[in-house]
A and B are shown apart, each in its own frame.
Chain A
Amino acid sequence: MFEIHDLHKHFGSLHVLKGITCSIAKGQVVVIIGPSGSGKSTFLRCLNLLEKPTGGTIYVDGVNITDPKTDIRKVRENVGMVFQRFNLFPHMTALENVAFAPLRVLHLSKEEARERALDLLVKVGLGDKADSYPDQLSGGQQQRVAIARALAMRPKAMLFDEPTSALDPEMIGEVLEVMKALAEEGMTMVVVTHEMGFAREVGDVVLFMDDGLIVEQAPPEIMFNCPSHDRTKAFLSKIL
């Protein structure tokens, strides 16, 4: 699904990604962990070109998205993204948020878009909140609407950028449940998170990033029980 080769990203003189190479298969759930400032989010945001890489190549489903000739909008239609701060559209109801992209990007009819949005809201457990505005919803509910909004494009893969970091502790579970259900359906997922329980339970592969590089990648049981790099050990000892 994703083939990343020697990916670099500079912000001015700051070298944030220093040559990342990895591949993510269809249906895989990849969890990215690492200290803050290690480039996890930047890496994730390169996968749908919200950040423009300064070097290297990224193939998404066989399409080279780092080629300037590629229509990145077509790629983004197939790669959903969920943000730390939800980023719901505050002037639209939950239903309108979810129906927005099917209506405007896919040009479905109003009824079709509405139906699709309602199904997804039911799926994330918010069928009764369709007419609520984002500021009338709790953080956990907002994030679930945001997941439904991304799913409304029927993407082939989903990117999660610290989806539970802005949530009160008691709301983290409801969001992780939705993500877990999604993983069980076979969705390809790339998740930047600090939720090690989720990584352990749902992740197929865990990537440990530090200082702009992937230091180690392994299945969760190996990563968490016998990491091979000292930096991984040091990081895990601090958070587990």
Chain B
Amino acid sequence: MTFRWDILFRSLPYLWEGAQMTIRLTTTSVGAGFIIGTLLGMARICQYRPLRTLAAIYIDFIRGTPLLVQIFLVYMGLPQLLSFPMPRLTAAFLALSLNSGAYVAEIVRAGIQSVDPGQTEAALSLGCSNAQVMRYVILPQAFKRIIPPLGNEFIAMLKDSSLVSVIALEELVRRANIVITRTYRPFEIWLGVAFMYLIMTIAISRLVAYMERKLNIDV
């Protein structure tokens, strides 16, 4: 049994382009998911009941169905419904953002609810509106606390983004498959890909740890 690591090394630039796509896709999706999730998370605990129910249904649907099915639904289902062509990148971005939003919503909700109710009372007693309480008092404190779980979500999304290879978007896994069909060297390539993911996830958790120290989070 001989290993052909040279094939892996020669494929690295090609794979690296795929990894860049993975990073770009994950970053933008988690970014959009963060905005969706913040709104959803606030909707989950707002006073307006229909909005609360709607948010809960959305979150349950996303968390209770496979991401793979969601990707197919967006990539193939939506174009049928709306009869317009869906570019792969748009579909991947949309599916991952919508998915991430549901998970981030629960993180944001927990973060908001972890802030002492006394904070809200103090702000209200000063004459603040509910929106001002949220913006100036609750969210700044909640965001500090949600950075660690948000980091975990980022890592999970980075790994799960490999699923969009099924719609032939050329991220890291898709490119690995392409290399393997040309070279028939699955072990070397997949091991290399595994390490590339590992390097990315370690980098993220280091970054999160650094931010935690910077913000002096004590949870």
Contact = CB atoms under 8 A, between A and B. Distances in A.
Interface of A: 48, 50, 73-74, 76-77, 79-81, 83, 85, 87-91, 100-101, 104-105, 146, 149-150, 153
B127 A89 contact: no
Interface string B120-140: 011111111100100011001
B140 A74 contact: no
B118 A104 contact: no
Given A83-B118, A85-B118, A91 B141 contact: yes
Contacts of B123: 89
Given A104-B132, A104-B136, A105-B132, A87 B127 contact: no
Contacts of A88: 122
Residue with the greatest number of chain A CB neighbours at <10 A, chosen from B125, B128, B141: B125
Nearest to A103: B136
B6 interface: no
Contacts of A50: 121, 124-125
B140 A76 contact: no
A171 B121 CA distance: 24
Interface residues of B, number: 18
Given A104-B132, A104-B136, A105-B132, A89 B126 contact: no
A87 B121 contact: yes
Main secondary structure of the interface of B (DSSP, over half): helix
A48 B125 CA distance: 7
B207 to A, nearest CB: 22
Q: Is the interface of A mostly helix, strand, loop or mixed?
A: mixed
A87 B118 contact: yes
A148 to B, nearest CB: 12
B127 A100 contact: no
Given A91-B140, A91-B141, A104-B132, A150 B119 contact: no
Contacts of B124: 50, 76
Report the 6 A-B pairs with minimum CB-CB distance, sorted nearest first. Answer: A77-B127, A87-B122, A81-B125, A101-B126, A87-B118, A105-B127
B118 A76 contact: no
